[in-house]
Amino acid sequence: MKLKYKVCTIELIGVTTFWFWLKGAMLQCTFMSYIKFNGNLWFFFIQFDTSISIKIEVLLTLLIKLFSQLKVRAAVEMALIDAVANSISMPLWRLFGGATNNITTDITLKVGKNLKADIEVLQAIRAVHPDCSFILDANEGYKPNEAIEVLEKLYEMGVIPVLFEQPVHRDDWEGLGLVSHIAKDKYGVSVAADESCRGLHDVKKIIKGNLADVINIKLAKVGVLGALEIIEEARASGLDLMIGGMVETRLAMGFAGHLAAGLGCFKFIDLDTPLLLAEDPVLEGYEVSGAVYKFANARGHGGFLHWDNLACSSGVVVDYGIVYLFHL
């Protein structure tokens, strides 16, 4: 896979090369990955030990399954691109194009579990904050008629959301198209496809059927290179872009923020989950001022974990649903 973006050409060549050998009472495994950046080949090695009581074929099967998972692949891609940026002393936001060094995140309102309760919550928020703009995320929670009813009720309240994210089930393509058309034509509300967008194939289907106005990209869902493919396809078709995430710390969200700042092509930015966490295990990285994230000129990601506070120190960290492999 090869993608050219402004100042950089990134090609992920392979992530499935393993070696095994015995080292005392332990079985040692080395994982090799390599990436091509602007014509130069970069090699990275990750090594870990495990008990020899695990059969080699079992471990190999587990590793292959592990790296076939999109979240893990996204982590590998993040780590490799971060390592390249570190090696050439360039911050990630500049590597991705350098459009800006800051972004402003929104905080979406989760709806979709109970229609009556959702309306009551929105009414309460409107009463306290009459000038705020709403972004609603139904997380597939409504049937098409319920999603349309929400828009009708909000219209009666004088509330027009700026975005209605994933109102129906991810596989209800007809319902997604119906809600999108009514939302846009009758109420002027854009509808975003999130769970319905699981890769480039889904994006092409959305474009062909005119099923949504906005594509929500999550790196843990489609990977970094997959995201760049989707961005190119969506922009060429005139769709607006949104970037979001899972429940992640500033480690993974920081990478997504660098991408959004560097490309400068996202109309909606929803990278708020680090603001909701009780503890922040990430040191340095981007500065937070309210909803504004500012990225420095530090090379690469700019943030790192406080290893003394973590249970493992192998260079592999589970970041609330995404594994991030550091270039140590």
- Give the pLDDT confidence score for residue 60 in this predicted structure: 52
Which domains can be identified in the chain, with CATH numbers? 99-276 (3.20.20.120)
Residue 29's DSSP bridge partners are 20, 48
- Give the pLDDT confidence score for residue 251 in this predicted structure: 87
Beta-sheet pairing, 214-218 with 240-244: parallel
Helix (H) or strand (E) holding 216: strand 214-218
Give the chain's mean pLDDT. Answer: 79
Residue 45 has pLDDT above 60, yes or no: no
Q: How many Cα atoms within 13 Å fall on the side-chain side of residue 120? A: 5
pLDDT band at 57 (very low <50, low <70, confident <90, very high): low
pLDDT in tens, 11-38: 444 444 444 444 444 444 444 455 555 5
What letter does residue 128 receive in the DSSP assignment? H
- Give the pLDDT confidence score for residue 118 in this predicted structure: 83
pLDDT band at 198 (very low <50, low <70, confident <90, very high): very high
| Number of continuous H segments (helices) and E segments (strands) in the chain | 11, 18
Lowest mean pLDDT among 26-30, 130-134, 290-294: 26-30
Spatial distance between the Cα atoms of 155 and 171, rounded to a whole number of angstroms:
27
Residue 4 has pLDDT above 60, yes or no: no
- Give the pLDDT confidence score for residue 259 in this predicted structure: 96
30's tokens = 């080395």
Rg (C-alpha) for the chain, rounded Å, is: 21
- Give the pLDDT confidence score for residue 61 in this predicted structure: 59
Helix (H) or strand (E) holding 171: none
- Give the pLDDT confidence score for residue 33 in this predicted structure: 52
User: Which runs of consecutive H residues, i.e. helices, occur in 136-249?
Assistant: 144-156, 173-187, 200-209, 219-222, 224-237
Which carries the bigger pLDDT value, residue 267 or residue 153? 267
Of 91, 106, 93, residue with least CA distance to 292: 106
pLDDT band at 321 (very low <50, low <70, confident <90, very high): very low
Residue 193's DSSP bridge partners are 215
The whole model's pTM is what? 0.78
Residue 52 has pLDDT above 60, yes or no: no
Residue 201 has pLDDT above 90, yes or no: yes
pLDDT in tens, 219-248: 988 988 889 999 999 999 999 999 999 888
Dihedral angle computed from the Cα positions of residues 77, 81, 82 and 86, in that order, rounded to the nearest 10 degrees: 150
Of 323, 150, 141, residue with least CA distance to 248: 323
Contact 147, 167 (CB under 8 A): yes
pLDDT in tens, 69-111: 677 778 878 887 888 888 888 999 999 999 999 999 988 888 8
Which carries the bigger pLDDT value, residue 324 or residue 207? 207
3-state secondary structure 50-119: EECCCCHHHHHHHHHHHHHCHHHHHHHHHHHHHHHHHHCCCEHHHHCCCCCCEEECCCCEECCCCHHHHH
Spatial distance between the Cα atoms of 147 and 189, rounded to a whole number of angstroms:
12
Q: How many CB atoms lie within 10 A of CB 154?
A: 22
Spatial distance between the Cα atoms of 156 and 134, rounded to a whole number of angstroms:
15
Query: Stretch 181-200: mean pLDDT, rounded?
Result: 96
Contact 187, 150 (CB under 8 A): no
Spatial distance between the Cα atoms of 147 and 136, rounded to a whole number of angstroms:
11
**Amino acid residing at 265:** C
pLDDT band at 323 (very low <50, low <70, confident <90, very high): very low
